[in-house]
Amino acid sequence: MERKRILVIEDDRSIREGLADALAFQGYTALQAERGDTGLEKALHGGCHLVILDLVLPGADGLAVLREIRRARPTLPVIILTARGEEKDRVRGLQEGADDYVVKPFSIRELLARVDAVERRSPERPTDVRRIEIPGGLVDLVRCQVRFEDGAGCDLSQREAELLRYLAANRGRIVSRAELLSRVWGVNPRAVETRTIDVHVARLREKLRDRAEPPALLVTVRGKGYRLDARS
């Protein structure tokens, strides 16, 4: 079984290496980055399953890193670890999309317990999905490409790939338009016209050679949202 990879983005060497040792002892593969910009690169392309993120970093601010992670990999769990412990800082971090917020100084045992809890959390932040098998083909969500067995194919936009990734990670569950706007678009559902989701779903159906009627791959559940068929 593949060991889960956890990325620690922290500029304090003693904290970063201490966390890496503790994570390794717990059976994880620990990746490290001491800068925000290099940490973001590893978060997006390093194949990690969870990120522990400091807020005060050289190279890029931690909240800016978090926003980019949420834009590019909306399902990747992120735990903020910082000395900023005021209520306004905690609220902002969670509003930006962090799954948990831990204030320094901290207990290693508590942090490891929080890592475990975040991994077990509800399907709103599920394991990331990189590839999806579809009837007659395959979707590569990392490369944003659709390839069919007959040799045809097409590219997906970044947003189309993010939408499909989220639905695939919640396969078989009805996902509301409000949840998609919040988790994939990263916006307040009340502030955006929900028609944008319908347009993206229509484009995905065309690119995936999906039919709107049964047995559809992307199922519209009237008045509730969308579901990626678990049987496909």
The domains of the chain, with CATH numbers, are: 5-119 (3.40.50.2300), 131-228 (1.10.10.10)
d(CA 141, CA 133): 11
pLDDT surpasses 80 at 174? yes
What is the CB neighbour count within 10 angstroms for residue 115? 24
pLDDT value at 118 more than 50: yes
d(CA 8, CA 104): 15
Confidence (pTM): 0.57
d(CA 85, CA 66): 17
Scanning the structure block, which residue is given the tokens 């980019």?
68
Q: State the pLDDT at residue 18.
A: 95
Looking at the chain, which runs of residues are DSSP E strands? Answer: 5-9, 29-33, 50-53, 78-82, 100-103, 131-134, 137-140, 145-148, 153-155, 218-221, 225-228
**Between these two residues, 154 and 76, which has the higher pLDDT value?**
154
Query: What is the chain's mean pLDDT, rounded?
Result: 86
- For 192-210, how does the pLDDT look when each residue is reduced to its tens digit (9 = 90+)? 666 888 899 999 999 999 8
